Each structure stands twice: as C-alpha cells, then as structure tokens.
Structure 1
Amino acid sequence: GFFPDPRYHSDLNERWGALLVGIGAGIHHVHGAAALDSLAGDGLLVVAAAVCLDDDERDAIRRHVDRGGHLIATWALGARDAECEWDGYRLLKDVTDADAAGTLEGLPPTYLTVPYGAVFSAGLPPGLRVELKTEPWITVLSGSSGVFWTDWALNPLSAPGGGAAGAAIARTTKSGARIVWFGWRMDVAATERDRRLLERVAQNSALWASGHIVVDVSPWPDGRRSAMSVTQDAEHSFRNSRRLAERFSTMDVPVTFFVVTQLAAEYPELADVLSAAGEVATHSVDHRQVAGRLWSGQLAGLRQARIDVQGWAGVAPVGFRPPREVFDEYTLEAWRRSGGRYLAGSNYARTAAPEIFDTPAGPLVVLPRVVDDDYAVMVTRGETSPDSLRATFLGSLEKVRWLGGLDLLTVHTQLIDSYSRVDAVESAVRAAQAAGDVWIAQASDVADWWLQRSGLELQVRERVDRSAVLTISNRGDEEVGSAWLQVFLPDERETYAAPELGEQIVDSEYGPGGLRVRLPVLAPGESIEILLPRRAA
C-alpha cells in the first residue's frame, strides 16, 4: 500500500464507519471491482484515501457514479496504479468534474476555510478556518468547490491554472449521483478543536450524500449573505471624526465611533454629532493596552471608560474596542461586568463571523476584524493615496461577501483626515449597498443579532414518506425576527412542494444553495414546526 503503516486504511475506515453510524447509516465493507459493481444503484460508497487502485477498480467507481450511485471520496483518489506508481488525477477529475487538479505543496502551517453557502458549512460560523498537519494536500479548480485552501488570514491560495484553490466539492451529476470529495484525510487535524470541526464538515456531507436534507440558520437578517459595520477609532486628531459622521449621516448609514474618553472630553461639541451619526462606544480611557493587566485594574479602567462616555454622550456604551485590538479573559469578563455587550478585536482569523464568549458575568460577543484597516494600508504598507484605500476597502468587501462574514470596516481619525479619504470609505459602503446582499448596521446591532440568532435551535426529522419536519425553537431571552433558514436539498427542487406552517404556505425561495425559508417572529420559548413535503414519485 501507499502508507507505511499496514493498519492505516483499516483505521481510517473505522473512523469513517463510526461517523456514518453516528448519523444513523448502516455500513458494510467492499473490496475489489466485482464488489463495487454489486452495490445498489442508489447506495453511498465511501472511498477514503484510496490512492492505489487498479484499472478495474477505477472503472467500477465510474460505473457506480454513472448509474446514479453516490460517492464520498477523499484525498488523491486513484492517483496511483495497482503497483502504487504515479498515474495522475484522471479519476478524481472525472468524478468531481473539476477543471484542474494538483498537489498543494504548502509551507506549514496548512489551513482550509469554510465559507458560508455550501452544505459543508451548516452549523458552522461563516468563514471558519481549520488547521491541518502539513502534508501534500490535493486541490482542484471547480465551480462546485465549497471549502478552500487559504492562508492564515482567510485569503484563498491559487489552484493549478489560477483561481481559488478548492479543498472540497459537493455536486450532483446528470445521473443524479451525489458526489462529495475532500482534499484532505480525516486523521490530520492539528488540534482537538480542528478534529471536531472536520468531523462536522464530514457529517454534513454524509447526510447530504445519503439523501437527507441539511438545515442551517442563515447568518444574517433577511437572509443577507454578509454584513458590514463602519467603525472609526476616535483618538489622535479627534476632531476629524466630524467628517465621517456628517458624511454618513447624510447617507443614513450608521457609524460606530470608538472614542478615547480622555480625548473626547476636550471636544464636548462633537458628542451630539457622533451620537446622531450612529453609536458611541469606547476605545479605553487613555489608549493604553488593557490586556495583560491585573483583573482589578482592567475592571476599574473599563468602568471608568463607560462612565466617561455616558457623561459625554448621554448614553452608556455597550461596545469596546481594546487598544491594539488585543484582549484576554479578564478583559472579556471586566467589560461584560461593567455593562458591555460586545467587544471589537482580533480573533486571529479563526472565523469571519462574530463569536460568543461565556464569561462569569454573562455572554459577550466579539466582533472580529479579518480585513485590513486604514493603518495597514497607509502606515504598514506606506500606501497613502485615497485610491489605495478605496481598492483595499473594495477588496475587503468582496472577500467578506465570499466568506459570508462580517466586514468590520475600520478607520482612524488621524488617518482619515481629508474628504478624499472619506470618499474612499464611502465607495466601499456604496458598493455594499449596490451588491444587495450585505446587511449594513452599527456594531451593537450586529452583536445583538448574533446573540439572538444563537438562541435558535434546529431539529430535523423525516417522515415515512421522506418529507422533512423542521422544528425551530427560540431558547434565548429575546424575540427573534428577520431570520431565514437555509435548506440544502439532496434532490432536485421539483422533488419538494412548498414548505408549510400549519395551514399556511411559508415564504420561501430557491437559490444556488438550495431552498431559503423565512421564519416568523419567534418569542422567547416559542417553537414552530415547518413541513417540507416531498412530492409523490
């Protein structure tokens, strides 16, 4: 075999067997072309890291797919012959319909990222990053890719021949075969967290490939694909905040201002201007790093910052951006205990979506910035022209729309010091408005939505006729409105009738990812059942 350990494949198959049994599947093992040809036409074949295959076995896999049999394959499927000599990626390209396939010889560490919108992403935060042990991985160029090889900052690597380096594919063939392929193996997660995430991706894929629907709550209100919050750190050159506030007030686009309170006190005339433009949050009392201080010092400093903003703007802030965007466990608890609800800071690109941290004082939302701010452009890179800012902000918007996450557009008063630079910020907001699938909101609204969404609980059960009953419960403390479900369908849309809630037809629409269903407003503790009927064959 290809792997030095003679038990490697049996161990890998046991891992897959446990995963399949966990989703309710019955399994049996097959070996050789004759056994593959004897499989039922609608059976699911799992071929895990089968690198060395003879010609008969490869052809049997092709015949299985051609007659409508379903397939999950991983890594370098059939890339070597029966003697384990190199033969190429023909079989892989045939079953995935990829335009190109190749080996990714990346430098350590190795990351894959799961954008929102494909079946792989159900139940996971948009733009989730997973770290793998560094080995040669397989990549494809395909329009059916739903997971991608990326760098640490969630930027896609290049596939052979250009384009984004696909790391996983989910597609349905003309014969009705559901095909899933992963460019990695299941035993290569870098940490326990990464192992759990890979297993969730595999479970989603196995459910779908087995013919079951997979359901998720869409990440943003009204089914929007991504979100944007315009934020400014009001620190040095504090009075420059007026430019952004007045411009975006005329556009009816809210801005969140994180103010250094010692500096804000010198400009009482700007309190109403910034408040009218959106939200006033805090950037600490004196712009000194908070993380790393003793608990008592952090708590005292954050309480003082909150008191200062309330005295200056008339409303106590709920948001805090720590200097340098770094924080620790004390910071999270101290801000929550002080009355805060969210923190804007670095999550080291773990995900492009907000994260909820459970502190001893209650839950706190962290809004991550996974795109470059004006400091990175103008100071770190030395590109000071408004055109450079505009290009960066527009590129960041497209990146976050691709990921399905949050574009925390961040600028500073000492850098956005002219109307031409304000124009650069405006260009990104105008582009988000034109895209039509971006929710533009102040930071506190984003944090509140993410907490409300986290209270929704989903359960799916199938009836004898394979119609699906979706139970949605609000386990949170607040009502949830504007939520949508994303339903990943294993069969053609004609297979299903319109979703029903009691006697009513539920508002829904079909799109590239499957079926989207609008939920009614759910009060705390309320549960509803939506039926997704299957038409008679």
Structure 2
Amino acid sequence: MCLFVAVALFTAFSAAAAPRIKIKAATEMDPADPSYFLPADLFDAKGNRLGVAPGVPAAVPMPTQSLPLEGLRKSEVLVYQSPATRAYFERGGVRSDLNVTLWQRFLARYRFPFRIIRDLKDPALAAGNVLVLPSDVALSDAERQQIRSFAALGGSIIATWQLGTRDPQGKWVGFDFMESLLSVRVTGFTGLVDDERYIHPYGDTPVTHSIPAGSRMWTDLLPAWSPLMIRSARPVAGMRTWGHRPTRDTGSDVMSISAHGRSRVVYFGWPERTWMSADARYHDGLLYDSVSWALRLPSVSVAAWPYPYRSAFVSTTYMADVFNANDIPFGKLQLSKGLKGSYYVLGFEIDKSHAALTQLAAMGHEISYEGDEFESFAGQPAAQQTTRLNTMRAATAAAKIPISAHPGFNPPADGSDQITRQVVSEQPIDYMVTWVEAVDGCIPQFQTSTAGSAPRQHPLVLIPRLLPGVEERLDEISESEAVAENHDLVNDLNRMGCVAVARYANQSLLTPDAQSQTLDSYTRNRSTMWGATGSEISRWWVERGELKATLSGDPTAPTLSVTIPGGGLSNEAVIWLNLPRREAKVSLSGPQQVRTVYSEDGLVAGLLVRDLKSGNYQWQVNFVGDAEK
C-alpha cells in the first residue's frame, strides 16, 4: 500500500477529516426520465450495446520523454467541474455538484493534495498531475481537445461513467471520445437484472492491491445511473453476481487502467451517484489505490499467490460411497494432469476404505476430513458439532487412515454455518472448505472468531468454493454443457485472481472423458494457475499472512522493509512494487540481494523473496531508467 499519504487507508472515516458539505435529497440527484443520460435505442432489451465494434480502440500516440521523479513531491489532483456538464445535469433536474463533492470528500479524507478547477486552461494542467473527470457527460470540442493535450503532456486521467458523450447543448455524440482517450470499448450497461449489482475487483493489479480479490462491492439499482460494461486490454474489476458469476456473455468488466506514453488512465464504469450506498471499506480502497497510482506514488503489496501464478486450482473429491479400486483411475488421471488431489473422508465405515485411501495417499494425494457421516452440520448446536468432529477424528485414527499432517475439513453437502467454523477452529485442523456465503472475496481468509480456549499456533484458513460440482449440475443441464460451463467459470476465476475449488464425488458418475475435460480447465491455465492441494493452499496463506512489506520515506527513493516469517517460505513469494515510471528498473541497496522480475506492461516490479531466511530486512530503493514508451 502507498505510504506517502498522511492518513492510513480504512482508518480515516471521521466527518472532521472532510469539508462539511450537505448532500442533496434523492429527488435532486435523480432525473425524472431514466433514459436522460443514456439513449435506450443504443442497447437491446438485455442492456447489450447494439452494433458494438470488435476489439479495443488503439491508443493515441504520445510523447515518450520521461517525467522527473522530483515531481512526485508536488504533484496534485485536479477535479474538473465542466460548465457544459453542469448545465446539462441541471436541465434534467439533477445537481451536478454531487459528483465533485464526493471526490472532494474522498481526497480530503486521505489528505491527497487537490484542487477544484472549472477552466481547462488552468496552468496546473501540467505533466505529472492528475485530472479527475467526474461523470463529465457533456463537453465542448475545446474541452475535449484540452483534455487530450493534457494527457499528451504526461498528465494522468481518472474518468468515471460517461465521458463527453454529449455536446454542450445536450445532443448525443456517442462514445468515440471516451473510448479513444480511455482505451475502452463500451459493450453495454447493467441494472436490468437484480443480481447484476456487485462490483468485484480483480487480484494483484496496480489499482486493487489493497482489497481482497473478488470482494463484493454492492451497488444500488438506479435506472438512470447504470454502470457501463466495457472491453479493455487491462481490466481491473468486473460486475458479477453475489456468487461471483459473470453476468453476460459480451463481457462483465466495469473498470480498467492503461498507460500511454507518460500518461496514466483509470476508468470507473460507474457514476458517483452510486457511491452513496457503496461499502467504504472497499470503495475507498479502490479509489485510494487508483489515485496513488495515477499520481505515480510507489506502493508495495504481497502477491496473493506464489510466483509466477495469479490464481489457484484445487481438485477435491468428497466421499459419497466407500473408497475402493474404482477410485484409483481418477487419482492417476489427476497426476497425469500435473495435479495432486484433496480427498475428504467420512468416519462412517471408514475401515472399508483403508486400502484405496492408502494407495491414493502413496500417490501423493492429500487425505483429509469430511465428517462422521453424510449429514449437514448447519443448524446444530456447538456441542453436537464438536462431538461429531471428535467422533470423525477418532474413527479415522482407529482405522489407521493416512490423514494429512496438515488436514482440512470439507463438510458434507456444504452443510456448515458460523458455529461450524468456530468449532472447527478449535480442532487440530488447518483449513476448512466453505461455500460462498462464508467468505466475502474469492481468495482464502482467516477464521478469527473462535469460542475455544485452546490457542492455535496458526489461524484456521477458510478456502471458498465458488464452482458448482459438474456432476451436481447434471440434474439441470447435459454433461457436455456442464463441462463447458465449468471451463468458462474456471477461466473467469483465473482472470479475477481467485481460487477455483473443483468438486467431484468419489466413484463419480461422470464419463472418463468428462472427468478429463473438467481437469483440462486447469491444464489450459496452468501457466498462470497454481495447482495445489488444500493443505498446500492453507500453508501458503499462513506464510503469506506473516510476510510483511512496507515503504517509507522519500517517494523518489523510498525505504523498503520486509519481514520474513519464522521458518522461512516454502513457496516463491513475490512482493509487488508499483513503479513511478513505466519500464523503470529497481535497484536495491542493502545487505541482501533479491531477484527481481517485471510485469509485461512495465508498470510493476516483483521482488522474489523465497530464499531469504526469517528475519527483518531493509533496502534503499532507487528507480533506474525511464523509457515510458
């Protein structure tokens, strides 16, 4: 996280930190005509844009001269209140000052240097500064040219919703200006489906690193203010359902970034009006990271997954019947795909499964717990759930089942609740697989609210399962359709930076071809997707939770401090560092050398720290080179 703003993120929500500005009543914020801003005839009945052009608009060529790093100390944010936009809003009965007011409150809350401007001839529109265009729907030709000139100088742009889609008289002129300036293609709008209201940030991007990937950002369904769907080369957030499903075939992205020449661009597809109901924990984090990146302030974060992966895949098999020789072929199939599976067993008649489970464990697969019998834990008193867990562990121990040294728990039929998570955290169990309701994002989290008195060495890791079991979908769709659906969902989870937990029944009813094809959803993504067992996932997240990285001091040459957990790191952890200049190289002055990698777009440097022993380290960071091309 960027440490060069005085107030820490998520801790400065007091009203005293921002100007006391009265928010207008809803009747002054919403036009009477829901189609006042966006013509209905541009879209079909589902909100998809008609006749949308393929691809993404090519970036406008810009100068490549670098910006001096010293400018970081005096750069500022300029929030533009367009006179043309203000007049257009007011003709529709809407107060446009809300857009500026909300930005003003946010920037003041986190002590970003900012000013409100009403003239694009302002001398502050110079290279290194950031111009915020808050739902500036109506722009004149002169305003459009001045905005382009500012970007060409090396100024950064933050734009929201519709930008320059109308002229000063309110006539619709289309998306061409915003699409070419922001390098996006508008594909539709949201708001027609009740569940199409959750913005999900993608993991490990330069502008979302403060927020867990897939965190649900709820938005109001406001007919006149529907967020725009886009295509872009670098999407960083998308519109998903509560259950993290993409909402439409044409694409569900709603936020993007780009860098052309010396200019940086952040685009938010939703208008400021929707901020009124946004969860500030996530929304402020998204704004904070975006403004910091646009200002070119260095920031640091620990990647969610081991290098070089951006997501993870876990193949899980639950016990629907006794394990026997029929389960061995699937165990071999997983290994042939480069995967070790996680198997979960019931204590009921477990001795009958001993031979097969022993063979699976010998192959390298993980054996963990499912329960005492195939019955949901949800809704049962804590004492009853604890008794069942103890019975489960005693039965598997008596049958000499080769339970993993770092076991997990995957409850029968996803039947668990908050009490289950509490009582499992009191057991010698490292992690728990949960359905989507237990975890807000799409990456593992820690269970911290325990009722037990025995302290744990490490917190219980909750691994969210977002994928429906392919076999379980056969009641509604065909096998081939279920396999295709699974493939699309795994691709999307990989794109978002999530963990994809695949679910199979032992002695599955899926055909061998279908089993192989579902695992191919992983193999097609294996260059960016970490194939791991639940135990490996949980151990990584414990280590990652103890790995700390902070920046301090002068933003042009900051000090990087890193804490490596006791016992070191079992996987290659990467610490991402946002670069103040594209394609700059990082030079570290300190007692220990570390390997450095760079993102393809040249915006981020990664420090690989697996080989460092446990302890505290400090380096002086210098940024060398400044191609920015």
TM-score by length of 2: 0.75
Q: Which residue of 2 aligns with 1:342?
A: 431
Q: Which residue of 2 aligns with 1:151?
A: 241
Please state whether the residue corresponding to 2:112 is helix, strand or coil.
Answer: coil
Return the match for 1:295 from 369, 372, 382.
382
Instruction: Provide the C-alpha distance between the structure 2 equivalents of 1:187 and 1:328, rounded to a whole number of angstroms.
Output: 36
Residue 273 of structure 1 deviates from its aligned partner by: 1.9
**Per the alignment, do residues 58 and 142 of structure 1 end up closer, same or farther by CA in structure 2, a change over 3 Å counting?**
same
With 98-107 and 129-138 compared, the bigger mean Cα shift is at 98-107
Residue 532 of structure 1 deviates from its aligned partner by: 3.2
Work out whether residues 187 and 250 of structure 2, in 8 Å CA contact, stay in contact via their aligned partners in 1: no
**Per the alignment, do residues 380 and 157 of structure 1 end up closer, same or farther by CA in structure 2, a change over 3 Å counting?**
closer
Return the match for 1:98 from 184, 188, 200.
184
Residue 333 (1) aligns with residue 422 (2) = yes
Please state whether the residue corresponding to 2:237 is helix, strand or coil.
Answer: strand
Please state whether the residue corresponding to 1:223 is helix, strand or coil.
Answer: coil
Instruction: Provide the C-alpha distance between the structure 1 equivalents of 2:567 and 2:442, rounded to a whole number of angstroms.
Output: 25
**Per the alignment, do residues 233 and 191 of structure 1 end up closer, same or farther by CA in structure 2, a change over 3 Å counting?**
farther
**Per the alignment, do residues 503 and 444 of structure 1 end up closer, same or farther by CA in structure 2, a change over 3 Å counting?**
closer
Instruction: Provide the C-alpha distance between the structure 2 equivalents of 1:340 and 1:503, rounded to a whole number of angstroms.
Output: 36
**1:267-278 → structure 2 map (5 Å cutoff):** 267-277=353-363, 278=365
Residue 357 (1) aligns with residue 447 (2) = yes
**Per the alignment, do residues 102 and 67 of structure 1 end up closer, same or farther by CA in structure 2, a change over 3 Å counting?**
farther
Instruction: Provide the C-alpha distance between the structure 1 equivalents of 2:335 and 2:513, rounded to a whole number of angstroms.
Output: 17
Residue 424 (1) aligns with residue 517 (2) = yes
Return the match for 2:544 from 453, 470, 478.
453
Residue 453 of structure 1 deviates from its aligned partner by: 0.7
Per-residue CA distance 1:65-120 (angstroms, 9 max, x = gap): 22222221111123333344534323322320224465434322312222224222
Q: Which residue of 1 aligns with 2:568?
A: 479
Return the match for 2:532 from 433, 438, 441.
441
Aligned-residue CA RMSD in angstroms? 3.0
Please state whether the residue corresponding to 1:211 is helix, strand or coil.
Answer: coil
Letter in 2 for 1:63: S
With 196-205 and 341-350 compared, the bigger mean Cα shift is at 341-350
Q: Which residue of 2 aligns with 1:233?
A: 318
Instruction: Provide the C-alpha distance between the structure 1 equivalents of 2:93 and 2:558, rounded to a whole number of angstroms.
Output: 43
Instruction: Provide the C-alpha distance between the structure 2 equivalents of 1:457 and 1:22, rounded to a whole number of angstroms.
Output: 26
**1:130-209 → structure 2 map (5 Å cutoff):** 130-135=217-222, 136-158=226-248, 163-174=250-261, 176-186=262-272, 188=274, 194-209=279-294
**1:399-414 → structure 2 map (5 Å cutoff):** 399-414=492-507
Q: Which residue of 1 aligns with 2:60?
A: none
Q: Which residue of 1 aligns with 2:36?
A: none
Please state whether the residue corresponding to 2:535 is helix, strand or coil.
Answer: helix
Per-residue CA distance 1:226-258 (angstroms, 9 max, x = gap): 211111011235434333234445767321111
Residue 5 of structure 1 deviates from its aligned partner by: 11
Residue 13 of structure 1 deviates from its aligned partner by: 3.0
Q: Which residue of 2 aligns with 1:395?
A: 488
Residue 527 (1) aligns with residue 616 (2) = yes
Please state whether the residue corresponding to 1:283 is helix, strand or coil.
Answer: strand
Instruction: Provide the C-alpha distance between the structure 2 equivalents of 1:55 and 1:439, rounded to a whole number of angstroms.
Output: 49
Instruction: Provide the C-alpha distance between the structure 1 equivalents of 2:577 and 2:311, rounded to a whole number of angstroms.
Output: 18
Residue 459 of structure 1 deviates from its aligned partner by: 1.4
Work out whether residues 235 and 263 of structure 1, in 8 Å CA contact, stay in contact via their aligned partners in 2: no
Q: Which residue of 2 aligns with 1:32?
A: 119
Q: Which residue of 1 aligns with 2:168?
A: 82
Residue 404 of structure 1 deviates from its aligned partner by: 1.6
**Per the alignment, do residues 478 and 23 of structure 1 end up closer, same or farther by CA in structure 2, a change over 3 Å counting?**
farther
**Per the alignment, do residues 366 and 380 of structure 1 end up closer, same or farther by CA in structure 2, a change over 3 Å counting?**
farther
**1:250-329 → structure 2 map (5 Å cutoff):** 253-277=339-363, 278-312=365-399, 313-315=401-403, 318-329=407-418
Residue 289 of structure 1 deviates from its aligned partner by: 0.9
Q: Which residue of 2 aligns with 1:129?
A: 216
TM-score by length of 1: 0.87
Residue 190 of structure 1 deviates from its aligned partner by: 8.2
Work out whether residues 487 and 516 of structure 1, in 8 Å CA contact, stay in contact via their aligned partners in 2: yes
Q: Which residue of 2 aligns with 1:374?
A: 470
**Per the alignment, do residues 253 and 506 of structure 1 end up closer, same or farther by CA in structure 2, a change over 3 Å counting?**
closer
Residue 414 of structure 1 deviates from its aligned partner by: 4.5
Q: Which residue of 2 aligns with 1:215?
A: 300
Return the match for 2:130 from 29, 41, 44.
44
Work out whether residues 139 and 167 of structure 2, in 8 Å CA contact, stay in contact via their aligned partners in 1: yes
Per-residue CA distance 1:331-374 (angstroms, 9 max, x = gap): 01111112212111212484221121212245221111222312
Instruction: Provide the C-alpha distance between the structure 1 equivalents of 2:105 and 2:590, rounded to a whole number of angstroms.
Output: 35
Instruction: Provide the C-alpha distance between the structure 1 equivalents of 2:193 and 2:514, rounded to a whole number of angstroms.
Output: 37
Q: Which residue of 1 aligns with 2:582?
A: 492
Instruction: Provide the C-alpha distance between the structure 1 equivalents of 2:419 and 2:586, rounded to a whole number of angstroms.
Output: 52
Letter in 2 for 1:443: G
Decide which structure has greater helix share.
Answer: 1
With 41-50 and 199-208 compared, the bigger mean Cα shift is at 41-50
Residue 148 of structure 1 deviates from its aligned partner by: 1.9
With 336-345 and 454-463 compared, the bigger mean Cα shift is at 454-463
Residue 150 of structure 1 deviates from its aligned partner by: 2.8
Work out whether residues 483 and 518 of structure 1, in 8 Å CA contact, stay in contact via their aligned partners in 2: yes
Number of aligned positions between the proteins: 522
With 137-146 and 288-297 compared, the bigger mean Cα shift is at 137-146
Work out whether residues 378 and 416 of structure 2, in 8 Å CA contact, stay in contact via their aligned partners in 1: yes
Instruction: Provide the C-alpha distance between the structure 1 equivalents of 2:484 and 2:313, rounded to a whole number of angstroms.
Output: 16
**Per the alignment, do residues 249 and 117 of structure 1 end up closer, same or farther by CA in structure 2, a change over 3 Å counting?**
closer
Residue 63 (1) aligns with residue 149 (2) = yes
Per-residue CA distance 1:200-234 (angstroms, 9 max, x = gap): 11111100100112322121123312211111011
**Per the alignment, do residues 212 and 270 of structure 1 end up closer, same or farther by CA in structure 2, a change over 3 Å counting?**
same
**Per the alignment, do residues 251 and 209 of structure 1 end up closer, same or farther by CA in structure 2, a change over 3 Å counting?**
closer
Residue 503 of structure 1 deviates from its aligned partner by: 5.9
Please state whether the residue corresponding to 1:164 is helix, strand or coil.
Answer: coil
Instruction: Provide the C-alpha distance between the structure 2 equivalents of 1:214 and 1:220, rounded to a whole number of angstroms.
Output: 18
Letter in 2 for 1:17: Q
Residue 16 of structure 1 deviates from its aligned partner by: 2.2
Please state whether the residue corresponding to 2:371 is helix, strand or coil.
Answer: coil
Work out whether residues 499 and 508 of structure 1, in 8 Å CA contact, stay in contact via their aligned partners in 2: no
Please state whether the residue corresponding to 2:569 is helix, strand or coil.
Answer: coil
Letter in 1 for 2:410: R
Instruction: Provide the C-alpha distance between the structure 2 equivalents of 1:391 and 1:119, rounded to a whole number of angstroms.
Output: 32
With 291-300 and 350-359 compared, the bigger mean Cα shift is at 350-359
Please state whether the residue corresponding to 1:511 is helix, strand or coil.
Answer: coil
Q: Which residue of 1 aligns with 2:608?
A: 518
Letter in 1 for 2:424: W
Work out whether residues 126 and 153 of structure 2, in 8 Å CA contact, stay in contact via their aligned partners in 1: no
Instruction: Provide the C-alpha distance between the structure 2 equivalents of 1:472 and 1:407, rounded to a whole number of angstroms.
Output: 29
Residue 130 of structure 1 deviates from its aligned partner by: 2.0
Please state whether the residue corresponding to 1:196 is helix, strand or coil.
Answer: helix
Per-residue CA distance 1:350-401 (angstroms, 9 max, x = gap): 42211212122452211112223123332332x23xx556544433432222
**Per the alignment, do residues 5 and 308 of structure 1 end up closer, same or farther by CA in structure 2, a change over 3 Å counting?**
farther
Q: Which residue of 2 aligns with 1:111?
A: 198
Per-residue CA distance 1:315-341 (angstroms, 9 max, x = gap): 477211112214222101111112212
**Per the alignment, do residues 4 and 425 of structure 1 end up closer, same or farther by CA in structure 2, a change over 3 Å counting?**
same
